[in-house]
Structure 1
């Protein structure tokens, strides 16, 4: 362990340097070649591109690329000591895969970006019941190791999404109807706390922290390893179906019937999507069936017939995640996620589809506009699995019934259009929520993985759960390093500086 007295002396001895540089030089003195200063190297040559332009264009004073949890501990102690001294440039961001599109979440201007890309273990245990996975992996890295072993984990469905961000938000998986949300399939977290200690959080060790990390984002520490439930699997059926735009109302009705808990087949997973892509209106549906069959039972997807083309086949999980990955453009396009949640109601869903189409029409002149709205079943067949692994604080109660999870993925060019896009998206969500309330289909849950920075994620978990999230934060991070020193993301408390 590095001495805090040594850190304090070194910080004050560096007064001749800009404060941001003094911290970066101190980090470099302790971590050597794992620290890259912007004044000595082009940082884009040592880290992978971000998914969107907003974080890609940010300019941290330095980037730390730890290779061990001990490295992370050292960095956190240095940064925490700087914050305690009241320095202005000791704020930092934590990056797993860099897929969140907003600025100031996985990158930072003038502070320190802690990039976890080299914490990339993927190791099943001897019994093939758990898989140790590092936060620096993307899901394609995980499945490339596990597919040949006929194993998988309850993880992401897009190859470019990072492990850390998905699991600490909650996530959604092809296997969620069978096993629950990805966060509910983490059996142990190895985490570096604000004081630099490296601890495990699981059902028996630090169980309150274990529950809070399921949807806890970056509020409690830096997770350096996830131990995930291993699931036996092999090749399975799935693909993407494409429809005429005129089919959308019929698909909306079929979707709401399909998604009800009473008749849901837990091996199935669908996502209905519509919008505009490359100046063309599109309607499509992801359909997957995770049992080892050459085709699903005929009745499962029977009401989604009428496609004009599809990619249905038996294939590996890795190949399906490659197919569903959003196009990468090396961080050159501005992007946004936005979300809302409704009760499963066909009239309301069709109304929201109409609102989306009106929003697209109002934005059609924005350069390189892409606007996709997606709808996923989010029934009790998913959230009911949480208690089997100690529960969570997400507020997904059985009494709330079945939900529709809405995710908007939008992109455009030009920073001058940011405010126009944000205003339009905020109005869409406001109008959609008001429509839902008028039909008794409103729901206050906000799915963190798809949320925009202006959305109140923790406001939807319920007062008692929010209080517990905050209590655990104060217990394990009494100096509130991860509330104040890590300003990006969805915070539990209002920052004080």
Structure 2
């Protein structure tokens, strides 16, 4: 059983005392400048506000192993942080437990033949791409420079600007990032350090590709490298009156995605200076300015177009600038079959619900839309498949809410509005028989259950593998951050939490 609330503080203090004695230079205690600096490295403000009893910063797998054994000994809850790019409190942060901060496990080692690169989870994708680019190489990784390697690679299958599993500019060519991992170095619940690949531990290797941090703490990834020759990318901004043309062009792009998988489009409806606009990200995995895949989108007159030939490292910095640190935000995800009616319905419903909170200070009401080919799914069967066990055999569209706002007091209203838009669209997609039962965990909110969207066969496989490698359930009992193998992270819906807060306010 997990420790009760009144036990947590005592257990955590005992664990921190032991860690501090054994690793004085790697254990950051409350009230110290180093502790506060480490807390500040999270992306969102709500994660920065978490207050662990202490923060442990290992430099290698033996450090992680020793820390995990200490945490088990004292029955102490813990969180695992890679880049800290999670969007809600408790995704990779914890109150009163111990945060294992992997920031200093940040090696990058290119193989002699250049076919693989070994990277630590503490890297950001900026560092990985900069190390590979001089060799004419890159890896399947995140699209924002500030995203951490570990969380991105271990998440669901996809996240939009980005986080777990994971979506890359190159996804339609090579599949999801997790399907390009050769092997894992992972610390298991008993403290052992093992190398998991298709040959040595095929079950563990498969389960790690899509099960998050539910089986162990990964301290190194061996990734495929791919040729890199430069990129083209940027944004075209359209006015709301052009909505029909923009959505039609996006669907045409998707219909032809297999003809040119080097092209990737992110369609976004968002607010800018109190008005709605379309912001369309167009990216091409080569130095080609006039790719036929973008022809229909480029035929629509744009208010602004900053697309140009540039390096991947420039594109990921631009992407990151759209998602500043220390803000209030949320994510929510929904997948459907490509369908013009549902695309229009989602956009209309999103605008209706978000107009209820448009006056919220700092509000940027962005909804991102991505189209994935059936080839992406098929590439997931390489090397024995991944943990998703997805039954998706056709192209699908993923809708991802990613609003931003300024103040925490507005959070319940915004979350309820986002939830309403997605619940309405989900119901309409079900009615039209186009709902795809897949929730990408890197985009999922704390009110969603990404593992519940996996196939029954996949859930049984992950549970069986977890029971084998973590028979005492350490990562289900004591890991107090991130999605578990069952259920949502919140016991109530966003609407229920908003009503509860209203009632509390009225009773004060």
Question: TM exceeds 0.5?
Answer: yes
Aligned 1:428-443 pairs, distance under 5 A: 428-443=421-436
Distance 1:284 1:327, change over 3 A: closer
**2:374 aligned with 1:380:** yes
The 3-state SS of whatever aligns with 1:164 is helix
Aligned 1:416-435 pairs, distance under 5 A: 416-435=409-428
The 3-state SS of whatever aligns with 1:177 is helix
Distance 1:51 1:279, change over 3 A: farther
Distance 1:284 1:173, change over 3 A: same
Deviation, structure 1 residue 266? 1.1
- CA distance, structure 2, for counterparts of residue 420 and residue 406 of structure 1: 20
Deviation, structure 1 residue 452? 0.5
What residue number does 1:362 align with? Answer: 356
**2:43 aligned with 1:51:** yes
Deviation, structure 1 residue 43? 1.6
**2:103 aligned with 1:111:** no
What residue number does 2:206 align with? Answer: 211
The correspondence for 1:64, drawn from 35, 56, 62, is 56
- CA distance, structure 1, for counterparts of residue 127 and residue 416 of structure 2: 37
Provide structure 2 residue ranges, at least 5 long, that are not aligned to the other structure. Answer: 1-6, 156-164, 489-508
- CA distance, structure 2, for counterparts of residue 92 and residue 453 of structure 1: 18
Distance 1:438 1:398, change over 3 A: closer
The correspondence for 1:250, drawn from 225, 234, 245, is 245
What residue number does 1:11 align with? Answer: none
Deviation, structure 1 residue 95? 0.5
The correspondence for 1:485, drawn from 478, 482, 496, is 478
Aligned 1:227-246 pairs, distance under 5 A: 227-246=222-241
The correspondence for 2:461, drawn from 460, 468, 472, is 468
What residue number does 2:338 align with? Answer: 344
Provide structure 1 residue ranges, at least 5 long, that are not aligned to the other structure. Answer: 1-14, 84-89
The correspondence for 1:138, drawn from 105, 124, 139, is 124
User: Normalising by structure 2, what TM-score?
Assistant: 0.89
What residue number does 1:334 align with? Answer: 328
Deviation, structure 1 residue 428? 1.3
**Paired residues of 1:266 and 1:381 also in contact (CA < 8 A):** no
RMSD: 1.8
User: Normalising by structure 1, what TM-score?
Assistant: 0.91
Could you list the per-position Cα deviations for residues 187-233 of structure 1 after superposition, in whole angstroms to 9, with x for gaps in the alignment? 10110001111011111111111111111111011100111000011
Deviation, structure 1 residue 263? 4.6
Aligned 1:53-452 pairs, distance under 5 A: 53-83=45-75, 90-169=76-155, 170-260=165-255, 263-291=258-286, 293-297=287-291, 299-305=292-298, 306=300, 307-327=302-322, 329-331=324-326, 333-399=327-393, 401-452=394-445
The 3-state SS of whatever aligns with 2:435 is coil
What residue number does 1:10 align with? Answer: none
**Paired residues of 1:289 and 1:296 also in contact (CA < 8 A):** no
Deviation, structure 1 residue 184? 0.4
- CA distance, structure 2, for counterparts of residue 381 and residue 326 of structure 1: 31
Deviation, structure 1 residue 261? 6.1
Q: Which stretch shows the higher mean deviation, 264-273 or 413-422?
A: 413-422
- CA distance, structure 1, for counterparts of residue 58 and residue 198 of structure 2: 28
- CA distance, structure 2, for counterparts of residue 47 and residue 56 of structure 1: 5
Q: Which stretch shows the higher mean deviation, 48-57 or 153-162?
A: 48-57
Distance 1:404 1:294, change over 3 A: closer
Could you list the per-position Cα deviations for residues 119-146 of structure 1 after superposition, in whole angstroms to 9, with x for gaps in the alignment? 1111110010101111111111111111
The 3-state SS of whatever aligns with 1:425 is helix
- CA distance, structure 2, for counterparts of residue 311 and residue 366 of structure 1: 29
- CA distance, structure 2, for counterparts of residue 444 and residue 455 of structure 1: 12
Could you list the per-position Cα deviations for residues 278-319 of structure 1 after superposition, in whole angstroms to 9, with x for gaps in the alignment? 43422111111113x34243x221110222221222111111
Deviation, structure 1 residue 474? 0.8
Deviation, structure 1 residue 466? 0.7
- CA distance, structure 1, for counterparts of residue 323 and residue 396 of structure 2: 30
